[in-house]
Structure 1
């Protein structure tokens, strides 16, 4: 975690909240409280929401443009900022401006990433100096996917997704399809026919090609749009589901081949051409920014 003083010009910056993909997802058990025990691999992609933080003098936390139909107090960026203020005993305020580019309900982690960027950047802008471990602890209370965005690097994850180990993954070109449906994650994890006893594997097993997603069968059975997207994308490369979806993706060795698949699918699907990256774009910006003194 970068702990250098950040100067005032950083308040004028737009901060990325990147998407993630689950390159593998195994369900290895279930705790007594109902939470599922997982093994998964997270990698970031260079598709991002963008967040700007505007300082205010009255100590309030607010959104510049609240999302229609979502009470402001339920917005994850607002909850993250208020949680950070409470934890640090901070009296500062902020008005948060979010440019949404990540599709909602796609399994790309948009809300979780927005919350993580809020925690990480306000920790710097307010000069709170909370360590990464504390920010990850706060993030976990907001959602299981928030810690990996605070961790900031591709990760092998276990537990409920909070036990993270750094992993280097080839940074390939990726085509992502967002089917026109919203998968109910809770519904998938409650499904009676969901596999819950997969054998644990190692990082070496994943690298060797074991990349199954235990949610794939249940999601495909219940969501025809996801099933159709997988079929169409598989004409170009191995098509996989990220998390519980709805987004599906395929990796490519070259930009040229990925771009060709992207163009072919554009007329039928909401599709994205992106690059897998191991370091979160947020942390690349923090590390490389001239505004850090």
Structure 2
């Protein structure tokens, strides 16, 4: 096997996101539910004759050396060297970039996770899912979730994951046209950092009646993002006319859940032309989850 093409890197939504504290090292403690959706970037991997790791697609604003996909590939390559004493073949990585940067959809983290899973298969490294998650965590707290590959109740800095059921629904997502820097949100003096802890069964029991898609909890980062970035506030207000609209992650994208595709289509048709809007289906599992060799 010399290549793996059309490898999906799906986006995520945070169905709620509570900031419950702060560690001595400055990292924030969170509780959230990560939901995969069927929209994302697509990556392509072709082995090289040497051991170089190259991104062969230009990504505006992201130098190759800083890209999480390159950094993740090099970490995995180094782990293979440590285990076997020899470097695996290098790889050219191409990406069809669909998800916006600074949108709170986890695009860069998902790209890195797909890179780790794909190269684990291409290099026949034999690393487990947990081992890949451990490699990805230093690069980004969301990366382990995408390798975990299931709807997850997350705690800690986002790395402590447990599988949880969530509504099988459609989402309308609005990109309000701004990129929100995560650090700017988490360093704000207006950020709530003491939301009381919840338990996973609180979330599960909330959705026991699947006909009620009003969201559980809230996104603590939303009040900061809407204060700093008015387009996010405008998108929340507009989409909120159709349901419980909220921001995902640290922003900027805003989403709302709907029972069916027809309802989502009806709202999507009304999205103002100034914004980019799209629909997506909830996914229970990562598209690569069942593919042999991607990490077990």
What TM-score comes out, normalization by structure 1 length? 0.92
- Which runs of 5 or more structure 2 residues have no equivalent in the other structure? 82-86, 207-214
Task: Report the equivalent of 2:159.
Answer: 162
- Given the alignment of the two structures, is residue 234 of structure 1 paired with residue 240 of structure 2, yes or no? yes
In 1, Cα distance between the equivalents of 2:190 and 2:53?
43
In 2, Cα distance between the equivalents of 1:94 and 1:30?
39
CA RMSD of superposed structures (Å): 1.6
Deviates more, 1:158-167 or 1:208-217: 208-217
Correspondences of 1:245-264 after superposition (within 5 Å): 245-264=251-270
- Given the alignment of the two structures, is residue 113 of structure 1 paired with residue 110 of structure 2, yes or no? yes
Whether the 8 Å CA contact 1:60–1:93 is kept in 2: the answer is yes
Q: Quick one: structure 1 residues 12 and 193, their matched pair in 2 at CA, closer, same or farther if it must change by over 3 Å?
A: closer
- How many residue pairs match? The answer is 280
Whether the 8 Å CA contact 1:18–1:282 is kept in 2: the answer is no
Q: Quick one: structure 1 residues 69 and 247, their matched pair in 2 at CA, closer, same or farther if it must change by over 3 Å?
A: closer
Task: Report the equivalent of 2:226.
Answer: 220
Q: Secondary structure at the match of 1:44?
A: strand
Instruction: Output one character per residue of 1:20-44: Cα deviation in whole Å (capped at 9) or x when no partner.
Output: 0000101111000000000000000
Task: Report the CA distance between 1:282 and its aligned residue.
Answer: 2.6
In 2, Cα distance between the equivalents of 1:50 and 1:211?
32
The counterpart of 1:187, out of the listed 175, 184, 187, is 184
Whether the 8 Å CA contact 1:38–1:160 is kept in 2: the answer is yes
Task: Report the CA distance between 1:12 and its aligned residue.
Answer: 4.5
Task: Report the equivalent of 1:30.
Answer: 22
Q: Quick one: structure 1 residues 12 and 151, their matched pair in 2 at CA, closer, same or farther if it must change by over 3 Å?
A: closer
In 1, Cα distance between the equivalents of 2:280 and 2:216?
23
- Which runs of 5 or more structure 1 residues have no equivalent in the other structure? 1-7
- Given the alignment of the two structures, is residue 65 of structure 1 paired with residue 62 of structure 2, yes or no? no
Whether the 8 Å CA contact 2:4–2:118 is kept in 1: the answer is no
The counterpart of 2:173, out of the listed 176, 179, 199, is 176
The counterpart of 2:45, out of the listed 41, 53, 56, is 53
What TM-score comes out, normalization by structure 2 length? 0.91
In 2, Cα distance between the equivalents of 1:188 and 1:104?
15
Which runs of structure 1 show a deviation greater than 6 angstroms over 4 or more consecutive aligned residues?
Answer: none
In 2, Cα distance between the equivalents of 1:183 and 1:261?
25
